[in-house]
Structure 1
Amino acid sequence: MKKLMAGALVGFGMLVATATSATAAPAEWYYTGHWYHTAAACEQGYQDMVGGPGSPGVDLPHECRPANGVYELWRMR
């Protein structure tokens, strides 16, 4: 009986541990609506958007994706 109860507790603990991590919202990329003619201008635009070099947001994930001759600024939610 003790083994059954211990197994049930371990199983319930695993269920709770996996359920809480599954409820976290997945990160996703979104287009900011800003585009630039060069990759350097795109990076500068991102820095301007988050407050400049040294600001807390400057290290957040972002991408300057080439598209149709311009660079689109994408950020992570």
Structure 2
Amino acid sequence: MMKKFVAGTLLGFGMLVATATSATAAPSWSYTGYWYHTRAACEAGYQKMVSPGSADLPHECRAKNGVYELWRMH
């Protein structure tokens, strides 16, 4: 009986740690594959990508090699 209690406690604690770790993981950025000649065009491209009225999720228009790359946070 005591072995089952200890095993259950360890399993439960392990699950708690696993879920807490994934919930506190740092957000990651990913390149969308879209680039634009101006920052304004990049912003407009992002607005076309998301549905109207949706939350404005974090995104960036990063300047690189004379163009602006559209990056989104996940």
The answer to whether TM tops 0.5 is yes
AA aligned to 2:60 is E
What does 1:33-72 align with in structure 2 at a 5 Å threshold? Answer: 33-52=33-52, 55-57=53-55, 59-72=56-69
SS at match of 1:56: coil
What code does the residue aligned with 2:72 have? R
Q: Detail structure 1 runs of 4+ shifted over 3 Å in the superposition.
A: none
Secondary structure of residue in 2 paired with 1:23: helix
What is the CA deviation profile of residues 1-57 of structure 1, one whole-angstrom value per residue up to 9, with x for unaligned ones? xxxxxxxxxxxxxx78x72421224310000000000000000000000024xx214
Measure, in 2, the Cα distance between the counterparts of 1:68 and 1:21.
Answer: 40
Q: % of aligned pairs identical? A: 61
Count of paired positions: 59
Matched residue SS, 2:32: strand
| Distance of 2:29 and 2:22 partners within structure 1 | 19
Q: TM-score, normalised by structure 2?
A: 0.68
Q: Distance in 2 between matches of 1:39 and 1:21?
A: 37
